[in-house]
Amino acid sequence: MHTTRRLLARGDDVIGIDNLNDYYDVNLKKSRLACLTSHKNFIFHRLDISKQEALAELFTQENPVHVIHLAAQAGVRYSLENPQAYLDANLQGFLNILECCRHHDIEHLVYASSSSVYGSNATLPFDETQHIDHPVSLYAATKKANELMAHTYSHLYQLPTTGLRFFTVYGPWGRPDMAPMKFARAMLAGEPIDLYNHGKMVRDFTYIDDIVEGVIRVSDKVATPDSSFDPVHPNPAISSAPYRVFNIGNNTPTPLMNFLGALEKALGVEAKINYLPMQPGDVLETAASVDALSQWVGFKPSTSVPVGVSNFADWYRSYYVL
């Protein structure tokens, strides 16, 4: 939604696709959609990307030029409960996107990967030259698979693709299963919040506006082959094909307790806390190197956690009319 609003504001025509499934509150999804549907340059199709024929028909009908693929079954913990949803959306759905891009001569495919691909890597900050062979959740495995699939299509069909590894995105209109929304709801209701690993985790929290800026700048700069690629010592972030992968994170790893403190200040509420053990599929710490992104498009995220959390809290109160 945020990316679409920015594209529309600069005058682009946008075709939106979403299946509006019930993984979380459909009313929130419809409210997001209502922010877009009045715009004359926006067309919406309720469609499931895992449905190959319907997606192909839409590409033929609308004839897009660029594709920004942000649809996925998200969430690490849910992948433990419903793995099939991840295969359908993140593997079959992504394959369908690749096939449609291939057959319709798309100029550039930009897609969301995830910081979760770094898995059990312990060298921080994470950078794109690191190998990502040890995912710790099925969600992470599907995101790594997306990067591999994209490279294959870049290599075989010269389809320019760029993957963006998002680091802990937060902000207005966020998903209810993410920590800021869960925390805000519980805190304002006087209920305790759950902190895993007893709160001893660090995340590179990245504000939504910074994510959008990165997505659009990368979309505008079409991936190209890198002449420095050495197949004897391959760098996994580049290729002799038109393929790129970049981190997009705030480059400011923040202890979870500090993030919670900023939210307490913004909401004016002290959290009641349940301290719990580490959950399967979680990692202790994330931190993004964004040097490659900065060199490629001249941008790196910079919104501080206090500013971003304050913006989120203002939106939360206004949306839920508290």
| Residues with catalytic roles | 139
Q: For residue 313, give the amino acid letter.
A: A
DSSP state for residue 187 in the 8-state scheme: H
In whole angstroms, give the CA distance from residue 34 to residue 173.
12
Phi, psi of 203 (to 5 degrees): -135, 145
Q: What is the separation of C-alpha 163 from the centre of its chain, rounded to a whole number of angstroms?
A: 10
Residue found by looking up tokens 């897009």 in the block = 64
Contact 98/67 with Cβ under 8 angstroms?
Answer: no
Record the tokens describing residue 231, joined without a space.
């197949």
Q: What is the separation of C-alpha 130 from the centre of its chain, rounded to a whole number of angstroms?
A: 20
Instruction: Find the helix packing angle between 179-188 and 256-267, rounded to 10°.
Output: 40
